[in-house]
């Protein structure tokens, strides 16, 4: 998942850094909290980018009808 020195697609200033975050979302009037979700996070604006595998896992937890939860980055080889 290492994206090296990828520039943020939103602010075009910050660099995306791999982090484990707590994913939160309001879904059908319920507050959903999922800890330890892998994401790339901009060190300037805080934009969060998820890969396809993470999105599939989130879809599995939240229901298959949830599409396009967030932006996606291409998956790199894992260590």
Q: What is the dihedral of CA 66, 71, 74, 78, to 10 degrees?
A: -80
What is the per-residue pLDDT across 18-60, written as a single tens digit (0 to 9) for each? 999 998 888 778 888 889 999 999 999 999 988 888 888 877 7
> Is residue 32 in a domain?
yes
Are the C-beta atoms of residues 11 and 45 closer than 8 Å to each other?
Answer: yes
State if pTM tops 0.75: no
> Is residue 49 in a domain?
yes
Looking at the predicted structure, is the pLDDT value of residue 74 above 60?
Answer: no
3-class DSSP state for residue 78?
A: coil
Q: CATH number, domain at 63? A: 3.10.20
> Is residue 65 in a domain?
yes
> Is residue 64 in a domain?
yes
Residues constituting the chain: 79
> Is residue 10 in a domain?
no
What distance in Å separates the CA atoms of residue 76 and residue 52, rounded to the nearest whole number?
11
Tell me which residue range forms the domain holding 54: 16-73
> Is residue 31 in a domain?
yes
> Is residue 11 in a domain?
no
What distance in Å separates the CA atoms of residue 48 and residue 43, rounded to the nearest whole number?
10
**How many domains does one find in the chain?**
1
| φ/ψ (deg, to 5) at 46 | 85, 5
């Amino acid at each position: 998942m290492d994206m090296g020195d990828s520039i943020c697609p939103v602010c075009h200033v910050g660099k995306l850094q791999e982090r484990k975050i707590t994913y939160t979302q309001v879904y059908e009037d319920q507050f959903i909290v999922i800890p330890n979700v892998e994401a790339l996070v901009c060190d300037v604006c805080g934009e969060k980018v998820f890969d396809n595998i993470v999105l599939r896992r989130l879809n599995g937890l939240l229901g298959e009808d949830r599409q396009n939860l967030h932006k996606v980055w291409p998956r790199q080889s894992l260590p």
